[in-house]
Amino acid sequence: MTAPKKLFVKTYGCQMNVYDSERMAAAMGADGYESTDRAEDADMILLNTCHIREKAAEKVYSELGRLRPLKTAKPGLKIGVAGCVAQAEGEEIMRRQPLVDLVVGPQAYHRLPAMARRVDAGEKALDTEFPEEDKFEHLPRGPKARRAPAAFLTVQEGCDKFCAFCVVPYTRGAEVSRPAERILAEARDLVERGVREITLLGQNVNAYHGAAEGGPWTLARLIRALAEIDGLDRIRFTTSHPNDMDDDLIAAHGEVEKLMPYLHLPVQAGSDKVLKAMNRKHTAESYLRLIERIRAARPDIAMSGDFIVGFPGETEADFQDTLALCREVRYAQAYSFRYSARPGTPAAGRTLVPEAEAADRLARLQALLSEHQAEFQASMVGRRLPVLLEKPGREPGQLVGRSPYLQSVFLEAPEALTGEIVTAEILKAAPNSLAGRLV
Query: Binding site membership for [4Fe-4S] cluster: which residues?
Result: 14, 50, 84, 159, 163, 166
Closest CA to 174 of 204, 154, 201: 204
**For the chain, percent helix, then strand, then coil, each to nearest 5?**
40, 25, 40
Q: Which residues are known binding-site members?
A: 14, 50, 84, 159, 163, 166
Rounded CA separation 203/378 (Å): 31
For 100, 189, 219, 373, 408, the CA distances from 103, given in Å and listed in that order, are 8, 30, 33, 40, 36
Residues present in the chain in total: 439
The distance in angstroms from the start CA to the end CA of the chain is 52
Closest CA to 365 of 306, 406, 313: 306
3-state DSSP assignment of residue 398: strand
Rounded CA separation 428/402 (Å): 15
* CA dihedral angle for residue 346, residue 352, residue 357, residue 362, rounded to 10 degrees: 20
Rounded CA separation 321/299 (Å): 25
